[in-house]
Structure 1
Amino acid sequence: MQDPFFFGYGSLVNRATHGYRDAVRARISGWRRVWRHTPLRPVAYLTAEPAPGVTLDGLIAAVPGGDWTALDQREYAYDRHAVGKVVDHGLAARIDVHVYAIPAGLAEPPDIRHPILLSYLDTVVQGYLREFGPAGAEAFFATTEGWDAPVLNDRAAPRYPRAQMLDAAERDAVDAGLKARGVRQFLPG
């Protein structure tokens, strides 16, 4: 039996945040990426929502032995959805693919009490830059909804547990993407 796969569209695109080897680029159809928060977490983060006609770039990787325990713990505020038929991955075999998404009844728009962490966004964009280049990072910004959310600038003391160090060009790409969307940042206080 072949291992199942996950489709990552946020921090899972950044290979430095996980140990799943042999990840490959993929595209999912019929889902959109959006900023949301839930009562299960104190900050906003990315989720996927069904959206006919929309496609997202990301990564897929096998979950060895179908042991979802570690990944389910990491993604504890999400439900896992089977989406294999809507994922274009370029692998020769037909595979079982799942995507994580916040349960519909628990998803709320971000607000000042539940902001986007800049350290999380930095990590996500770094992944897109490394996998898809500058055009891929720009596509991430363009295909993500909810940029009216406040962003907590925690770069000096990252709150995101898998935060990555960015080089100057990567930081500039994040800052330019936010500026282009008129996103407001505030410092922790």
Structure 2
Amino acid sequence: MTHPRFFGYGSLVNLATHTYPDPTPAELVGWRRVWRHSNAFPVAFLSVEPCPVTTLHGITAQVPNADWAALDERENVYNRRDVTDQFTSQTTVYEANPDFTAPQGTKHPILLSYLDVVIAGYTTLMGDAGPAHFFETTTGWVPVIDDRANPRYPRAQPLTEQTRTCVDDALATLAVEVRPSV
């Protein structure tokens, strides 16, 4: 039996945040990451959107027995979008559901604990090139809330000094404002 797969491009790249079998490095051509704002919660989250000149690095992993329930619950503000044409088996990517997306002017902040998890995953996946790729292929940057001392992201992971330095340096280079947590 061939199990369907999903393409992970954010926190799903960090294998410490899930147990889906057979995680494999992969590329998704014609898409980029974008920070979206939600009407369901007051922070920004990652999504994807078509972009013909961008290729995203990430992972694919199996969804055993096509049981999407747990993954759909985790990704509850997203819709599954079929991208099988780019892979050798049925594969989907999660894209922000417009029903849960707030107007772009909302400017909900990014949780630093969420960004740290994503970058740690990309470091594991691709070494030093992973975080650079992430920052180059992500748009829609808004201020970041430094919640490292008390992470608000539910799948926060222990932070290495390497990840801390990488994220802090990239945010400084991008001139993204980092605000203290309140």
TM range (shorter): over 0.9
SS at match of 1:157: coil
Instruction: Report the counterpart of residue 104 of structure 2 in structure 1.
Output: 109
Answering whether residue 176 of structure 2 is matched by residue 188 of structure 1, we say no
Distance in 1, Cα, partners of 2:41 & 2:93: 19
Answering whether residue 4 of structure 2 is matched by residue 9 of structure 1, we say no
Distance in 1, Cα, partners of 2:48 & 2:172: 23
Q: TM-score, normalised by structure 2?
A: 0.94
SS at match of 2:104: coil
Distance in 2, Cα, partners of 1:133 & 1:144: 18
CA pair 164-110 structure 1, distance change in 2 beyond 3 A:
farther
Cα RMSD after superposing both structures: 1.4
Instruction: Report the counterpart of residue 97 of structure 1 in structure 2.
Output: 91
> Which amino acid counterpart does residue 57 of structure 2 have in structure 1?
D
Answering whether residue 79 of structure 2 is matched by residue 84 of structure 1, we say no
Distance in 2, Cα, partners of 1:79 & 1:62: 17
Contact 1:41 1:77 in 2 (8 A): no
Identity over the aligned pairs, expressed in percent? 49
Instruction: Mark the runs of 5 or more structure 1 residues left unpaired by the alignment.
Output: 88-93
Instruction: Report the counterpart of residue 71 of structure 2 in structure 1.
Output: 71
Runs of 4+ aligned structure 1 residues displaced above 2 Å come to 103-112
> Which amino acid counterpart does residue 12 of structure 2 have in structure 1?
L
Matching of residues 39-50 of structure 1 within 5 Å: 39-50=39-50
Q: CA deviation at 1:125?
A: 0.2
Answering whether residue 132 of structure 2 is matched by residue 130 of structure 1, we say no
Contact 1:111 1:150 in 2 (8 A): no
Q: Would you say how many aligned residue pairs link Structure 1 and Structure 2?
A: 181
Contact 1:36 1:110 in 2 (8 A): no
> Which amino acid counterpart does residue 140 of structure 1 have in structure 2?
F
SS at match of 1:122: helix
Residue 140 (structure 1) aligned to one of 117, 134, 144: 134
SS at match of 1:51: strand
Contact 1:110 1:150 in 2 (8 A): no
Contact 1:110 1:116 in 2 (8 A): no
Residue 170 (structure 1) aligned to one of 160, 163, 176: 163
Distance in 1, Cα, partners of 2:42 & 2:72: 18
Decide which moves more: 166-175 or 3-12.
166-175
Q: CA deviation at 1:40?
A: 2.0
Distance in 2, Cα, partners of 1:106 & 1:160: 18
SS at match of 1:124: helix
Instruction: Mark the runs of 5 or more structure 2 residues left unpaired by the alignment.
Output: none
Q: CA deviation at 1:30?
A: 1.4
SS at match of 2:119: helix
Q: TM-score, normalised by structure 1?
A: 0.91
